[in-house]
Structure 1
């Protein structure tokens, strides 16, 4: 589980985001970092019971400030991602631990390359019925809400702006998120709840994996 110590450290870091304070509290950071790593390992193990995942990565707390106007040296959250076995499975899982009720999970496709993006759009152009059914499923929708992410203001080049599924075709990202309160994060059942929520995304992943591993005629590309 994630203890209150993790959130308390991040709250203190947000108020004292400088190298001197961090140096003086390095032992506290190492303690909560160890706890967080164990939590991500547990989540990875839970996901492996029902999905083919092959690696997880916890992002460093140190910020790259070289090209940023924000020169604070440290992130005020912990973030980590878990990847699925490629090329046959697409999509990935992300968990961010952040105090003040800002923790969340995210999943989907953040930056599909131009070939994948075109393939997805072509699928929607031909038939978006299966995707619509996934999005409108009661359990899915109550857990994950609606698709979020960047999109074009009009139709992509080569697509009809009056197409009935243009709302899907013009998207550039295909992301779902779900937020958690601090009380939920520190509850003993939190990681099991995250795993259960991730499990509900699977019909979407199965659909997108099928699309991205076949051509428009349904022939395998792998």
Structure 2
């Protein structure tokens, strides 16, 4: 489970997002990160049983993302993220591509999956797979429980124009115009702090798995 002190650290960080405070509270951060690593270790084991593409050898320390922000080209110069991110790739050890992503943030935690903003080559391949096998994707995203958990898949960022190589009257144009292929499900603080948190989140990952399998198949 995610410990209350982990959420407490993040809550305090929001009001004290500076290097001086962080260094003075480094021990709290280290304790929170160890909690995340232990949680991720359990979660990887569970998700591997659901999705064989998730490597059982995935290093949980690498899955827990850095809390340090890249502020080089940003107006917001606060040095730290106000959340912990956990990325579990659906294709071995390499991060990126289709994945399961867990964000831990007081009052704003969520589990997500799919492929966010694919690179050009992958985006082309996914669109081609949709054009050829849209029925397979629709079977996944239109399934009533999937919609109940994740909402309308088509209601995410789309191109304003029709993508090259496709026509506006394509019956699947709303799917072909998507820039990302992701789903989200919110998690409240009670859920992520419960003894069954890993089981709950792994169960949601099992609902995301068919989408990730479709996307992995598209990009090879």
TM-score, normalised to structure 2, is 0.88
Contact 2:3–2:193, Cα closer than 8 Å, also in 1: yes
Aligned equivalents of 1:208, 1:173: Cα separation in 2: 11
CA distance in 2, matches of 1:61, 1:209: 28
Q: Deviations over 1:65-118 (max 9, x none)?
A: 11111111111111110112359xx6211111001x200111111132222222
Structure 1 ranges of 4+ moved more than 4 A:
none
> What number of residue pairs does the alignment pair up?
210
Partner of 1:133: 139
Aligned partner of residue 82 in structure 2, secondary structure = coil
CA RMSD of aligned residues (A): 1.8
SS in 2 for 1:81: strand
**1:30 offset after TM fit, Å?**
1.2
Whether the aligned pair in 1 keeps the contact of 2:90 and 2:212 (CA below 8 Å) is no
**Structure 1 unaligned spans of 5+:** 214-222
**1:64 match:** 70
* Structure 1 residue 18 corresponds to structure 2 residue 18: yes
In structure 1, what is the Cα distance between the partners aligned to 2:160 and 2:82?
A: 33
SS at match of 2:50: coil
1:171 CA drift (Å): 1.0
- Give yes or no for contact 2:115–2:215 (8 Å, CA) kept in 1: no
1:2 match: secondary structure: coil
Query: Is 1:157 matched with 2:164?
Result: yes
Question: SS of the counterpart of 1:201?
Answer: helix
Alignment of 1:82-93 (within 5 A): 82-85=88-91, 91-93=98-100
Deviations along 1:148-199, one digit per CA (max 9) or x if unpaired, are 5432012112211121111001112111111111111111111110000001
Please tell me whether the aligned partners of residues 50 and 209 of structure 2 are also in contact (alpha carbons under 8 angstroms). Answer: no
2 CA distance for matches of 1:137 and 1:80?
27
State the alpha-carbon separation in 1 of the partners of residues 183 and 118 from structure 2: 15
What's the offset of the Cα at 1:127?
Answer: 4.1
SS at match of 2:73: coil
Q: 1:195 to 1:17 in 2, by over 3 A?
A: same
